[in-house]
């Protein structure tokens, strides 16, 4: 399948929050076909800095595939952009007019400076918690450059924010699923990307850590000017913490707006097959 994607970097850090009217992310008519099935069907939307967008829908509605397509982990058919620059290329690219690459595919390091992806399933590996979190600084290091004192300090700070400092020397594969989720979130925080792509970040967490996780996502948006796209199953949690929701049904976007505009009884009935009312 052919991939046509456009991307541009609006600028790094909170100083760019007021960067004109350009959105942080723009996705136009994005579709993904897997196994002969159109899993994501002509989805278009944009995301401004400082906004937390929740993506909701029933199982199999295309939420995870949409997120993975934006992250460049599946091959999309359509166009997308970071920073609102209409640069068309194969893979993610940025506009030379804004001081970045003129054409061609971004390296893994360059992509990771722009976006941080948190998968639905936290990986298991033999690294220590501290080593795993410190890996989030990789995109900001030069070739053959080792992490410095400031990188290590940032890792410790992120671990403190997610409550995993006590596990610093433990191996990832000795932790519970919920503990691993918090470690991955710490790595995302220390990466300091403009765009956060989080696939069910509250999965496997108890209620306290669900609230803590979403509080941290909002802090990144409000204090650092990041944009966040969060796939969520808990509609009450989504309504409480997200500025905006996008509802998918059968791979198509069927609603996009405030939680109260999206989570209507009619939408709940058509997308989830249930009668109900969502309260924060």
Tell me the per-residue pLDDT of 143-197, one tens digit each, with 9 for 90 and over: 766 778 999 999 999 999 999 999 999 999 999 999 999 999 999 999 999 899 9
The pLDDT of residue 76 is 57
Q: Determine, yes or no, domain membership for 106.
A: yes
Confidence of residue 16 (pLDDT cuts 50, 70, 90): very low
Q: d(Cα 197, Cα 211) in Å, to the nearest integer?
A: 18
Residue 214, pLDDT above cutoff 50: yes
Give the residue, 62 or 9, on which the prediction is more confident.
Answer: 62
177-191 and 207-224 helices cross at what angle (nearest 10)?
10
Place of tokens 């300091």: 192
166 is in which domain, residue-wise?
5-272
Q: Determine, yes or no, domain membership for 279.
A: no
**Residues 151-167, buried b or exposed e (16+ Cβ, 10 A)?**
beebbbebbebbbbbeb
The pLDDT of residue 140 is 79
Q: Which residues neighbour 158 within 8 Å (Cβ) at sequence distance 6 or greater?
A: 133, 136, 186, 187, 189, 190
Q: d(Cα 51, Cα 29) in Å, to the nearest integer?
A: 21
Q: Is 27 helix (H, G, I), strand (E, B) or coil?
A: strand
Of the ranges 77-86, 107-116, 201-210, which one carries the lowest mean pLDDT score? 77-86
Average model confidence (pLDDT) across the chain: 81
- H/E element, 48: none
Report the Cα 82 to chain-centroid distance in Å. Answer: 12
The pLDDT of residue 259 is 95
Q: d(Cα 87, Cα 236) in Å, to the nearest integer?
A: 38
Q: Determine, yes or no, domain membership for 277.
A: no
Q: Determine, yes or no, domain membership for 43.
A: yes
Q: Are 196 and 188 in contact (CB under 8 A)?
A: yes
Q: Determine, yes or no, domain membership for 210.
A: yes
Q: Count the domains in the chain.
A: 1
The pLDDT of residue 9 is 34
Residue 78, pLDDT above cutoff 80: no
Global confidence as pTM: 0.82
Residue 81 has φ and ψ, to the nearest 5°, of -155, 145
Confidence of residue 205 (pLDDT cuts 50, 70, 90): very high
Residue 206, pLDDT above cutoff 90: yes
Q: What is the torsion angle, in degrees rounded to the nearest 10, for the CA atoms of residue 152, residue 158, residue 162 and residue 163?
A: 40
Q: What is the pLDDT of residues 88-138, one digit of tens each?
A: 222 333 332 333 333 345 677 777 788 899 998 877 788 999 999 999 998
CATH classification at residue 88? 3.40.50.300
Q: Determine, yes or no, domain membership for 37.
A: yes
Report the chain's terminal Cα–Cα distance, integer Å: 41
Residue 258, pLDDT above cutoff 90: yes
The pLDDT of residue 75 is 61
Q: Determine, yes or no, domain membership for 153.
A: yes
Q: Determine, yes or no, domain membership for 99.
A: yes
């Amino acid at each position: 399948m052919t991939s046509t994607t456009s991307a541009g970097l609006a600028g790094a850090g909170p100083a760019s929050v007021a960067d004109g009217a350009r959105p942080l992310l723009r996705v136009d008519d994005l579709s993904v076909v897997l196994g002969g099935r159109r899993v994501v069907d002509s989805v278009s939307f944009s995301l401004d800095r400082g906004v937390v967008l929740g993506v909701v829908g029933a199982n199999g509605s295309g939420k995870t595939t949409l997120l993975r397509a934006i992250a460049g982990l599946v091959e999309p058919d359509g166009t997308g952009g970071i920073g609102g620059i209409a640069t068309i290329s194969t893979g993610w690219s940025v506009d030379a007019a804004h001081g970045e690459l003129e054409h061609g595919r971004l390296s893994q390091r360059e992509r990771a400076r722009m976006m941080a992806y948190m998968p639905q399933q936290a990986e298991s590996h033999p690294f220590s918690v501290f080593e795993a979190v410190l890996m989030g600084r990789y995109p900001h290091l030069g070739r053959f450059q080792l992490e410095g004192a400031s990188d290590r300090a940032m890792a410790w700070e992120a671990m403190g924010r997610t409550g995993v400092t006590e596990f610093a020397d433990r191996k990832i594969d000795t932790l519970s699923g919920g503990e691993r989720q918090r470690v991955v979130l710490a790595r995302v925080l220390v990466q300091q990307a403009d765009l956060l792509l989080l696939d069910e970040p509250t999965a496997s967490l108890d209620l306290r850590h669900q609230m803590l996780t979403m509080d941290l996502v909002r802090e990144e948006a409000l204090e650092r000017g990041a944009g966040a796209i969060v796939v969520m199953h808990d509609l009450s949690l989504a309504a409480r913490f997200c500025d905006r929701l996008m509802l998918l049904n059968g791979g198509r976007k069927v609603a996009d707006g405030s939680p109260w505009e999206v989570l209507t009884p009619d939408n709940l009935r058509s997308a989830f097959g249930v009668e109900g009312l969502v309260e924060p």
